[in-house]
Structure 1
């Protein structure tokens, strides 16, 4: 019988859980910050994946993953250091935290400023790290979507160049404008 005794290389991974509507410079700053904190990898979990084409969630889960990957490439972050996954719309609770954790590889910590998410994940035994605020006045999905709805090109300042091109390629501005004009 052959017995293999080896050292398992434990990866320290942080979870970033959000809607990413769209993936903007604030999200990218958070990913960069996580690496500065010593994490080896980051798991980006796209929430509310089952909701799209609404004013709050105009982009599909696949489009949001694409935007995240494009942003990472634009900033030189190796894609093999980032795991992306999606999860459908759900209520936040301790049960939800366990459910969320089943969708991703093991993480050491979640990076969040949301007190409800913090409580649910802390109760599930996951370390909660509160990151700094990164230009929250402008790097905020709701603000960026409002600029898109008004056809104000200022939104392009808050995402990476490849994300600008991608949103234009998928007619994202027209989608946001149309969705927001339907009442």
Structure 2
């Protein structure tokens, strides 16, 4: 039995937004399975990283399930905060099931994973100016319309965990 064609998508997913969803669905058209790797998994309750790794995985899975994605094609994993260099790329590659490619638009991530031997695929941009975690978190802090930029299930989870209030408390400490 042949191993499935598998790609890695590495991100913080703070929060999982419609851009992430579009990239994931785009990638599922090209690969049998995806590894969604949650970076900075040991950080939470800050302005940069307000959500825990578990919450981010929950957001991803609920949003994908709501979109009809077969979750048997999705593998989730986490990695703690680390500097970006080729040695850590090898470390990450060994944390997850064997992958053929990494899907990223980040030039530094692309270079280190390329140097580690992975094929690098840049996905379409999918309204990158709108779909940025930093912009969505800014809208949350300003009581802006962040909900239109995340899947409905993600908004519901953020509400359930008091995510906006958490972010505002974190901002008041920074």
TM-score range, shorter chain: over 0.9
Identify which of 47, 54, 70 aligns with 1:55: 47
User: Residue 163 of structure 1: CA displacement?
Assistant: 1.0
Distance 2:166 2:46 in 1: 9
User: Residue 111 of structure 1: CA displacement?
Assistant: 0.3
Greater RCO structure (CA 8 Å; 6+ sep): 2
SS state of the match for residue 22, structure 1?
coil
Identify which of 86, 105, 120 aligns with 2:112: 120
Q: For each residue in 1:55-79, what CA deviation from the matched residue of structure 2 results, as whole angstroms up to 9, or x when unmatched?
A: 1001000000001001101211011
Matching of residues 1-183 of structure 1 within 5 Å: 8-36=1-29, 38-152=30-144, 154-183=145-174
Query: RMSD value over aligned CA atoms?
Result: 0.8
Deviation >2 Å, runs of 4+: none
Distance 1:103 1:167 in 2: 28
Distance 2:43 2:157 in 1: 20
Distance 1:128 1:15 in 2: 10
Query: What TM-score do you get using the length of structure 1 for normalisation?
Result: 0.93
| Contact kept in structure 2, 1:73 and 1:79, CA below 8 Å | yes
User: Residue 19 of structure 1: CA displacement?
Assistant: 0.2
SS state of the match for residue 45, structure 2?
coil
Query: What TM-score do you get using the length of structure 2 for normalisation?
Result: 0.97
SS state of the match for residue 43, structure 1?
strand
Distance 1:88 1:32 in 2: 25
Distance 2:108 2:135 in 1: 22
